[in-house]
Structure 1
């Protein structure tokens, strides 16, 4: 991961803040319980984005250091007394000191995870995948995207079973004992919210131009033949003890 950003800037960061699903209370509660977190603990949220993990975790721990390489993402971070927002990457972790836990939500595929697991000064990790990419869930969504961009949609965002096996093996090699667990829920989008969530996963270069965005949204509506989309979400977590 580079401190110069990964392309999640401008309108893409705005879409992330407005439309990307966060983590409901049962997920946060389970994470806190599994990691044994209390108000005395210091936690690093690495690749924090706009704060979908950092903000709810801040209600349970003493201090959160939220780190991301994209300034536009950090600009959306909520001001909380016990959250520090920092521009940086996994390469900066060794200089940030000791943490009681390090959490990474939907961002580990951008990082040198083997080096991170070896070098982070922490007792515990949690690697969190918030569901399956939308284009892998419903053939109508995939069809709209592939027709729009003229190519197959293959990106996995590091959420698939093979990626999780690699992460678990690397954690074991670094001396941790990983455990995988899940929490399921359903997130209902309006078509506007679904469109915004898809836009939040694009780069500024691939994001449709502003005049074309209503057309993209209407194509989604027609393809799904509905005004809402119920997204089945399975949050999969690899945590360590």
Structure 2
């Protein structure tokens, strides 16, 4: 992850802020309970984007440091008394001090996760996959994208079971005791919202030109044969011990 950004700039950041589904109260409540967070805790939201996780989480903790490498994403972050927005990446985490918990929402695939787990000063991690990418959920959505770009669309954004197993193994190697849990809900998109969410996952170079976006939305509508799409979302979380723990368990010794 680089402080020069990852392509989530300009109009892509605008679409991200406006159309990316966030985390409804039941998901935030489950995360707070599972991590044992209270109003005394300092939390890092790494790869925070435009604040879909940092902002609602801040209502339950003492403070949130929200870090992202893209200035345009941070510019959309709502100003809240308990949220501090910072430009940076996973490479900067050791210099940010001690956190009671570090959360990473749908962004770990951009990071050197093994180094992050080794170097971070925290007892508690939560690695969050906010559902499955839209193009892997519905064949009609995938077909529209593949026909539009003329190539297969297969990116899983680190949400698949194999990625979660790798993350859990890396946490164990760093001395943590991870476990996985899920919580499910649904989110209804209009076709405009669905297109906006898809645009938020593109790079500025691949974003359809403004004059072509109505055609893209119309292709989605025809492919789905509906004006809305009800997205099934299973939030999968790999978390370690609650934030009330004084420290992580002892790291394994040499073998």
CA-based RMSD = 0.4
Query: Per-residue displacement from partner, 1:185-228 (whole Å, max 9, x unpaired)?
Result: 01000000000000000000110011101100000000100000
Q: Distance in 2 between matches of 1:23 and 1:216?
A: 27
* Within-5 A mapping of 1:206-221: 206-221=206-221
Q: CA deviation at 1:154?
A: 1.0
Instruction: Name the TM-score, length of structure 1 as normaliser.
Output: 1.00
Q: CA deviation at 1:167?
A: 0.0
Matched with 2:183 is: 183
Matched with 1:14 is: 14
Q: Distance in 2 between matches of 1:37 and 1:137?
A: 32
* Within-5 A mapping of 1:82-101: 82-101=82-101
Secondary structure of 2:34's counterpart equals helix
Matched with 2:39 is: 39
* Within-5 A mapping of 1:16-31: 16-31=16-31
* Within-5 A mapping of 1:1-241: 1-241=1-241
Q: CA deviation at 1:14?
A: 0.4
Q: CA deviation at 1:131?
A: 0.4
Query: Per-residue displacement from partner, 1:115-149 (whole Å, max 9, x unpaired)?
Result: 00000000100000000000001111000000000
> Which runs of no fewer than 5 residues in structure 1 stay unpaired?
none
Following TM superposition, the consecutive aligned residue runs of length 4 or more in structure 1 with deviations greater than 3 angstroms are none
- Aligned residue pairs total 241
Secondary structure of 2:56's counterpart equals helix
